[in-house]
């Protein structure tokens, strides 16, 4: 018998500090964005990254339909953008996304990856989408927005 519940698991995973991304895609239904911290680099050769999406998210079906997605790594002044794409709609941000090779992305992000879905792995109540990177951008001067223990943060200093 397990001696922990879903909340314990979520809290323990929350001890792992991550960056914050906005996943985006484009289908016949329009552009869609979703905040996610379950982002991982997978392989350098070939260039692969992965995201993990809740079965309940709209994004999961959108990516299945489009076969591609973009990942924008948010900068440390973009907490409002993270909330907007996590279900707390902010009218002022409703047209924020801009075009990159026919995919929407967050302008001014610390890094951007455009991908084509290489593999879809169903895992419990989430689905992993492994994407092959076709284009990337990086703005080294922008510090990352962080997420840890259910709170947003920024780097105080490099160790």
Site residues (vs ligand FMN, CB under 6 A): 20, 34-38, 52-54, 57-59, 82, 86-87, 147
CA 91 to chain centre: 21
Q: Considering beta carbons, is residue 3 or 151 the nearer one to ligand FMN? A: 151
List the one residue out of 20, 33, 39, 23 whose CA is nearest residue 152.
20
Number of residue whose CB is nearest ligand FMN: 38
Query: Per the structure block, which two tokens stand in for 27?
Result: 């289908």
Min dist. Cβ of residue 10 to ligand FMN (A): 11
Min dist. Cβ of residue 53 to ligand FMN (A): 4
List the one residue out of 105, 101, 110, 113 whose CA is nearest residue 49.
113
Q: Considering beta carbons, is residue 48 or 86 the nearer one to ligand FMN? A: 86
Query: Rounded CA gap, 138 and 87, in Å?
Result: 27
Min dist. Cβ of residue 60 to ligand FMN (A): 7
Min dist. Cβ of residue 159 to ligand FMN (A): 23
Give ∠ CA 7-11-16 in degrees, rounded to 5: 150
């Amino acid at each position: 018998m397990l001696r922990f519940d879903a909340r314990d698991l979520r809290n323990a995973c929350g001890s792992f500090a991550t960056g914050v991304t906005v996943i985006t895609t484009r289908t016949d239904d329009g552009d869609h964005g979703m905040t996610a911290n379950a982002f991982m680099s997978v392989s350098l050769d070939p260039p692969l990254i992965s995201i993990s999406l809740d079965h309940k998210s709209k994004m999961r079906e959108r990516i299945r339909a489009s076969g591609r997605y973009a990942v924008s790594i948010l900068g440390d002044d973009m907490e409002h953008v993270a909330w907007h794409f996590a279900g707390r709609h902010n009218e002022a941000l409703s047209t924020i996304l801009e075009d990159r090779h026919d995919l929407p992305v967050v302008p001014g992000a610390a890094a951007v990856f455009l991908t084509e879905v290489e593999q879809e792995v169903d895992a419990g109540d989430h689905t992993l989408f492994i994407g092959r990177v076709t284009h990337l951008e990086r703005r080294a001067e922008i510090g990352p927005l962080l997420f840890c223990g259910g709170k947003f943060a920024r780097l105080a200093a490099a160790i």
